[in-house]
Structure 1
């Protein structure tokens, strides 16, 4: 998925892509590498300026198109994907930085940039510029350090330190006698790099750019750089997909090889996270500085720094072909490597995330203003009424607040707010916008625990879609009130994620079905009142077609439940043995062979729910240690915390983007499948960091803070809803279009 969310942004990105294909195909770029390296502006630059692509975000009063930074982010992303060479990224970055300054001081520069002048930004942390006060302003001397696009820049935005260590921002006309630029042999062959030197350069006080905050500037630079690297990684995904679909070895398309499918699917997941993080960084430009810093640092960790490795992963899937000079891959690899280097060491950005998340959480809420005010008022009134009540009964699915029963839960259930997206009377047919409003209203009331349906959240939608009215009435209201507990009887010893391999048999008898079989890994079977059961109803039918979906009374004769003790010592899972268990006809949902389709719908519900685990904070042990560690250990802890939090925020941004798409009336995308794999990667990364940094605490099972007990529960999260490998197969074949065996 690209950064573009709206139809207008998609059209803009498409126009940039067509421009690049027409004016700057890669073979034409290759022929201009030497001139690009010394800063010559491409011959098509005036045509690009005429299209206004470089000034999408500049207000109309300065000659721009009047868009937002998220709009021009689509331009940069597409340019990165098309390997559009030259000064586009540094020039857009310069104008985006100029927009942060007080309007009067930047007006001339913005007009020049909208008119087509090229520019670059020099950050103070990689420069030695010193400003000495004069009667008219300052005199500046120093060097920029290696800077992207400075050789082709007609203007440079520069900051110099004064004698009292303040920063003065100003604009340099690089053609003046007091400014010289020395080009360097850059890693990226499609964009120049060089060093700007100033010697006694005069800066009148009236020309200084005022109101620029160096942290905000740094955030803009990193966010736009992330958009470029996100585009490069997207190109790598497309190139790999095309290669795997067409390349043959050993008489087979190599896209059928599972190892390559998994590698390609993982590349896609990382690409989606990079895109989400880049988008989040540019949309945060109007938010408080702490939020902007958190989003930009996350983009550095998730989109910029990983880009060289991700493109290298693509290269290795091409084999030796990808390592040749003639293949375009090395140009993208070089470009990604250069951009990653341009933002500095990733450890600094990870530590910044770690520091900030000790005080701030990334705000992923949407600003809905007064949209649906009457609806919000009704929801708020209901929840305020619920706040005055208390639950007084235990939960059927465990000793957790969100399972408790009583007046408070009953009120929320009767109002249709436990699962508001369900149809009336079980929900309120809440559209995506209304669901967001409900979430916000619950969040405003921290003392109000939102009730959970537990496993039933994945089962009741099937009853709603396929159950007759009397079955719906029998099961849905008491489950919403928390009076019934459920389990899911899908997996078998010989059929885990492969539901088509089910061996449990359902034989038709008078008045119902006789069930014989063996289920395993069944959560909550020991407390469940009912279960959703898959059984083979027609052994002669094709594997996916001969399956029925039943509701099983867990107190029926012939059911034996044996707990499975896990590595943690707990017994959350069970084996369930079914011997001549009778299920009446009215407990079969749909037709006798509809079970596969109903099961797929249930599993889809489960995967969406599992994606919500990203809201749980698993870093308590590391945060506790960081609070008391010495400076050396604290830096390591903050970096690990930041790395995990950057991943977490990227997954959250993926969900926010999907929500915005749904609010725009677009069809659901691939976010749930991507998020499931991303969550597995995040969980492994999280606990690896915890074990590596907590040391001897992991030698004690009941340590404070807890380390090993949560770790020993990790497999349940990794395997719930299907293994990661199965999900990678789905992404490779269903999303990327790689061939099946």
Structure 2
């Protein structure tokens, strides 16, 4: 995934990459390290200005390209990916911060010079100690700004000085004036100069001051744009590592066949996708409220910028010693990632800030649909208003939860096709992605109206839609949607686990049906289920992914025995199911006798998608309670909470991006597999942080807030839908294309 989401944004990034290939190949950049460090502009800077890459986000009224911050992020992402040298990041950031100012001649003058190609940099107030003393009709500014990226190459520096009473005085400093001294500093990043800026009696008139710039907004813009460069570096790491693993051979085979390296490459992709999603969200948040912008920027800092050096280091270790050489390009990306991460300040500070923010509010990932499909919305509103006047009066077959309850309200929603609106008629209403969002909004607008859930049946019934007879669909789907039937999934076996293709349960053809014998395990809700989806081997001589049948079984049939599995909590939410000479009629076989694997894969995809959606459930409630209470643990809890909420926000941003892609008519991406792995990581981190912070509360089986009980229940989610290792195999082989053994 790229930060770019639309066709136009992808084309913009590709244009920058083509520009770099023509004008700034890395071999030429290597010859210019000394010149770059001294502040010499790359010889192609004027050509870059002609193409407008540096001013893509500036308004046409001042000569810019009329784009927005997302367009600028796409340019910087591409620049990070191709190791483009020079002060592009600093210059684009100066333009973005300058745009925050009130529309005055001073602002117009700054933007005009930037559009004309003047390289620039930004000095945020926390990165310098500049004092402005009032004189006559203006100020005299003195002070030093250390470690400023792009200081030596810049003609202008947009700086913030402290006036009387702590007032912020923003001004565009002409670095060529005699009151300014710029001194180069040997920088970590070999592709961009680093220096200090000293002002000694720098005079600025009142008319030259830029008013209206909020220092917080300026910082968050700078972070969002820096995150774009880091996201580009992370993407390069994924592509470089994948290509190396495909082609490098050891012990007579590609090292990409080694599972450990496959898993590391897959995690590199997962982290890269989260970085891109967080960066995208930070860029689009620039037009949101200040609180929302800060939430998104802090998430990008923690998910895209601060992890990037380690991502490059992990890539280097996959290359081995060859990556630890001056000749290899890896160190250029590593140095830049390290420098960008350092530029935003200490990571724990960002985590603490985000934790403090999220104790009061959360990032709003609502997709604004405007007045789209107003007639459809009105129809849905009328149906839900009518349903809201009804009440459910029966228990649910799948558990004691409101969304499983049965009765007139649920039946009305089911008959209207709104239990699974994306399904075809008559089971759904063929709702488009846009219409599904409208339906979700209308349910949300009625908080007293419980949206029904299909539970496990949500994963299974799509297979009935694909392959069951009309008679079987009519018999099973309506009562399931009304909550009158419960389901279970008879896939895993003691000797197979997540490797479903190794199953040994046998289905032998007999007159009128199949005779099934086998043993299933880890079956959720089997003790309550009316029906189950069963995988059984129908042809033991066929390849392991063939010769499998997908059956629907009535759990009350003779020969089916359910035995509970008691978990570490003492509860029994899972079961073993023994099948002894169970007769399954032919009409209960879905599809061809040996084509069940494809249906099973579809079922598992539905399950993984549902599990990745668990991010909407807050697992850090105990940690929030600790962070909200005074005490020695509060600071640690706040920082841990920020780290967890950053990860959660990135997963949510990934989901919103996928939704927008679907609304745009693009096909399904890899988001469900990525999110499933990311969700597992989030759960592990959440419980680890909660236990570490709660301290002695972890000694009690029951506590307020609950600490141990949710932790002991966590394996159900960590293992459900396939272990993390299986998901990493899928990502490595099916998405990255690494070779199988």
Alignment of 1:447-462 (within 5 A): 447-462=448-463
Q: Does 1:491 align with 2:492?
A: yes
Q: Does 1:204 align with 2:205?
A: yes
- Counterpart Cα distance in 2 of 1:728 and 1:609: 18
Structure-2 residue corresponding to 1:575: 576
What is the DSSP-based 3-state SS (H/G/I as helix, E as strand, rest coil) of the residue aligned with 1:128? strand
Q: CA deviation at 1:137?
A: 1.4
**Residue by residue, what CA displacement relative to the aligned partner does 1:77-102 show, whole Å, maximum 9, x if unpaired?**
00000000001000001001111111
Structure-1 residue corresponding to 2:91: 91
Structure-1 residue corresponding to 2:73: 73
Q: CA deviation at 1:324?
A: 0.6
Q: CA deviation at 1:504?
A: 0.5
Structure-2 residue corresponding to 1:471: 472
- Counterpart Cα distance in 2 of 1:351 and 1:449: 36
- Counterpart Cα distance in 2 of 1:76 and 1:309: 20
- Counterpart Cα distance in 1 of 2:407 and 2:352: 45
Alignment of 1:437-448 (within 5 A): 437-448=438-449
Deviates most, 302-311 or 509-518? 509-518
Structure-2 residue corresponding to 1:249: 250
Q: CA deviation at 1:573?
A: 0.5
Q: CA deviation at 1:627?
A: 1.7
Q: Does 1:546 align with 2:536?
A: no
- Counterpart Cα distance in 2 of 1:356 and 1:652: 17
Structure-1 residue corresponding to 2:518: 517
Structure-2 residue corresponding to 1:329: 330
Structure-2 residue corresponding to 1:726: 726
Structure-1 residue corresponding to 2:313: 312
Alignment of 1:493-508 (within 5 A): 493-508=494-509
- Counterpart Cα distance in 2 of 1:636 and 1:382: 48
What is the DSSP-based 3-state SS (H/G/I as helix, E as strand, rest coil) of the residue aligned with 2:78? helix
Structure-2 residue corresponding to 1:642: 642
- Counterpart Cα distance in 2 of 1:311 and 1:569: 44
- Counterpart Cα distance in 2 of 1:135 and 1:447: 64
- Counterpart Cα distance in 1 of 2:620 and 2:18: 46
Query: Structure 2 length as normaliser, TM-score?
Result: 0.99
Structure-2 residue corresponding to 1:433: 434
Deviates most, 79-88 or 357-366? 357-366
| Maintained 8 Å contact 2:443/2:449 | yes
Structure-2 residue corresponding to 1:563: 564
Structure-2 residue corresponding to 1:340: 341
- Counterpart Cα distance in 2 of 1:295 and 1:463: 41
Deviates most, 652-661 or 520-529? 652-661
- Counterpart Cα distance in 2 of 1:482 and 1:595: 26
Q: CA deviation at 1:447?
A: 1.7
What is the DSSP-based 3-state SS (H/G/I as helix, E as strand, rest coil) of the residue aligned with 1:450? coil
What is the DSSP-based 3-state SS (H/G/I as helix, E as strand, rest coil) of the residue aligned with 1:454? coil
Structure-1 residue corresponding to 2:702: 702
- Counterpart Cα distance in 1 of 2:391 and 2:218: 50
| Maintained 8 Å contact 2:181/2:199 | yes
Q: CA deviation at 1:629?
A: 2.5
Q: CA deviation at 1:700?
A: 0.7
Q: CA deviation at 1:633?
A: 2.6
- Counterpart Cα distance in 2 of 1:443 and 1:310: 39
Structure-2 residue corresponding to 1:144: 145
Deviates most, 80-89 or 344-353? 344-353
Structure-2 residue corresponding to 1:168: 169
Structure-1 residue corresponding to 2:36: 36
**Residue by residue, what CA displacement relative to the aligned partner does 1:352-401 show, whole Å, maximum 9, x if unpaired?**
11111111111111111101111111112222222222111101011111
Q: CA deviation at 1:322?
A: 0.5
Q: CA deviation at 1:25?
A: 0.7
RMSD of equivalent CA atoms: 0.9
Q: CA deviation at 1:415?
A: 1.3
What is the DSSP-based 3-state SS (H/G/I as helix, E as strand, rest coil) of the residue aligned with 1:563? strand
Structure-1 residue corresponding to 2:2: 2
**Residue by residue, what CA displacement relative to the aligned partner does 1:266-286 show, whole Å, maximum 9, x if unpaired?**
011001101110111011000
Structure-1 residue corresponding to 2:657: 657
Deviates most, 506-515 or 180-189? 506-515
- Counterpart Cα distance in 1 of 2:546 and 2:183: 70
Alignment of 1:403-442 (within 5 A): 403-442=404-443
| Maintained 8 Å contact 2:566/2:572 | yes
- Counterpart Cα distance in 1 of 2:229 and 2:385: 47
Structure-1 residue corresponding to 2:735: 735
- Counterpart Cα distance in 2 of 1:449 and 1:77: 42
- Counterpart Cα distance in 1 of 2:53 and 2:464: 51
- Counterpart Cα distance in 2 of 1:728 and 1:52: 41
Unaligned runs of 5+ in 2: none
**Residue by residue, what CA displacement relative to the aligned partner does 1:500-546 show, whole Å, maximum 9, x if unpaired?**
11111111112111110000000000000000001111122222111
- Counterpart Cα distance in 2 of 1:446 and 1:115: 54
What is the DSSP-based 3-state SS (H/G/I as helix, E as strand, rest coil) of the residue aligned with 2:166? coil
Structure-2 residue corresponding to 1:394: 395
Structure-2 residue corresponding to 1:61: 61
What is the DSSP-based 3-state SS (H/G/I as helix, E as strand, rest coil) of the residue aligned with 1:103? coil
- Counterpart Cα distance in 1 of 2:169 and 2:419: 55
What is the DSSP-based 3-state SS (H/G/I as helix, E as strand, rest coil) of the residue aligned with 2:365? coil
Structure-2 residue corresponding to 1:537: 538
- Counterpart Cα distance in 2 of 1:382 and 1:357: 36
What is the DSSP-based 3-state SS (H/G/I as helix, E as strand, rest coil) of the residue aligned with 1:535? strand
| Maintained 8 Å contact 2:359/2:628 | no
Q: CA deviation at 1:146?
A: 1.1
- Counterpart Cα distance in 2 of 1:557 and 1:383: 42
Unaligned runs of 5+ in 1: none
| Maintained 8 Å contact 2:535/2:550 | yes
- Counterpart Cα distance in 2 of 1:116 and 1:418: 57
Alignment of 1:660-675 (within 5 A): 660-675=660-675
Query: Structure 1 length as normaliser, TM-score?
Result: 0.99
- Counterpart Cα distance in 2 of 1:51 and 1:217: 26
Q: CA deviation at 1:214?
A: 0.8
What is the DSSP-based 3-state SS (H/G/I as helix, E as strand, rest coil) of the residue aligned with 1:459? helix
Q: CA deviation at 1:54?
A: 1.0
Alignment of 1:117-136 (within 5 A): 117-136=118-137
Q: CA deviation at 1:702?
A: 1.1
Structure-2 residue corresponding to 1:377: 378
- Counterpart Cα distance in 2 of 1:543 and 1:316: 35
- Counterpart Cα distance in 1 of 2:142 and 2:444: 53
- Counterpart Cα distance in 2 of 1:3 and 1:409: 41
Kindly report structure 1 stretches of 4+ aligned residues shifted beyond 4 Å. none
Q: CA deviation at 1:711?
A: 0.2
